[in-house]
Amino acid sequence: MAYAGKNTSRISDSALSTLPLLLYLAMAVGLMVADQRHAYGQIARQKFSLVTEPFWWLASSPVRAFRYARENLVFRSQLENDNRQKRQDLQVAMARIHRLNAVADENVRLRQLLGGTRGYQLNVQMVSIIDIDLDPFRQRLVLDAGSGNNVQIGQALIDSGGVLGQVVEVSKRRATALLITDPDHAVPVQVARSGLRAIAFGTGRSDALILPNIPQSADIREGDVLITSGIGGRFPAGFPVGVITGIRSDKLRLFVIADARPAAHLERGNEVLLINNLPPAIDVGPPAPERVPPAEDKVLAGETINGATP
């Protein structure tokens, strides 16, 4: 056995054996140069990824096993600590939930109290805006819905910020809305803090409203929030209209003029809500008969949302 081994080694000792060595070395050098210059190694690894990926998975399995063991064989004291911490956290969280439940109950009660006088069911339709025309003398919007979608003249328009305007023209597929900032527009408002009633006129500028003819003794000041009063029946009560930005006296110094900034996002967004079938805002006389909500229209990209205003 040893003798035979010696024989083969003698063969490999011969000068001939340096030839394959040089050949292999040349191949290795060629590969290295190719990889260095053209990143062939990356390509080759991608090509062989079907083979190498399971291989890598296999190689990483000891680590995975170790991690699994560490997760499953934790000390008892550690678990107890964890448990205590978690229980504390849970108690704090439960306390918070109880408090929130109390607030929710209170909210429901208050709503029921209010519900006797004002309808809180709000039926709205989402409509997209086609073209915003913010010309100083024409604060109008064109809506992508018309009489075919049960849009009627006089419907109020709101967005997430507050009252936006009302519908003034309706055609088959389109409707035009007058914004609250149009000089021709007026909306009955109320100061949320003091209950003072006033009328907000548009100015033609999309960021300003004006409230003329306020008595000098009236309780109104900068920062007051204006909401719709519901008087006149066109706008439902309670929607934000704007915030008072300044108070000044008029030319005769008999009344006060208040400037306000609209609450609605007049320059932003391309979807507005159109308020449907509202019951009369003021509960006078016999209760209004239940009106059937208009059927969903397929042409309209809108939807009917049933919700409650705060």
Partner 1 sequence: MIRTPTPWLIHGSFFIGLLFAIIPLPEMVQAARPYFLAMLLAYWLMEAPLRVGLGTAFIVGLLADLTSATLLGEQAMRLVILAFLVQRFRARLRFFPLWQQALAIGLLLVNDRFVVVLIHLIIGAPQTSWLSWLAPALGVILWPWLFVLLDMVRLRLRERT
> Contact positions toward partner 1, by CB under 8 A?
1-2, 4-6, 8-10, 12-13, 17, 20-21, 24-25, 27-32, 34-36, 40-41, 44-45, 48, 52, 55-56, 58-60, 62-63
CB of 91 to partner 1, least distance (A): 40
Q: Sign of dihedral through CA atoms 9, 11, 15, 17?
A: negative
Would you say 49 or 213 has its CB closer to partner 1?
49
Minimum distance from CB of 12 to partner 1 (Å)? 5
Specify the residue, 36 or 121, whose C-beta has the smaller distance to partner 1. Answer: 36
Residue length of the chain: 310
Q: By C-beta, is 24 or 68 nearer to partner 1?
A: 24
User: Do 230 and 282 form a contact (C-beta atoms < 8 A)?
Assistant: yes
Closer to partner 1 by CB, 24 or 303: give it.
Answer: 24
Instruction: Name the β-bridge partners of 304.
Output: 125
Residue closer to partner 1 by CB (options 60, 85) is 60
CA dihedral sign of residues 27, 28, 30, 31 = positive
Closest separation between CB of residue 69 and partner 1, Å? 15
> Minimum distance between the CB of residue 75 and partner 1, rounded to whole angstroms?
21
Q: How far is the CB of 55 from partner 1 (least distance, A)?
A: 6
- Main-chain phi, psi angles of 297, to 5 degrees: -100, 140
Q: How far apart are CA 133 and CA 141, in angstroms?
A: 6
Q: Which of 180, 300, 303, 294 is nearest to 234 (CA)?
A: 180
Query: Tokens representing 66?
Result: 């170790």
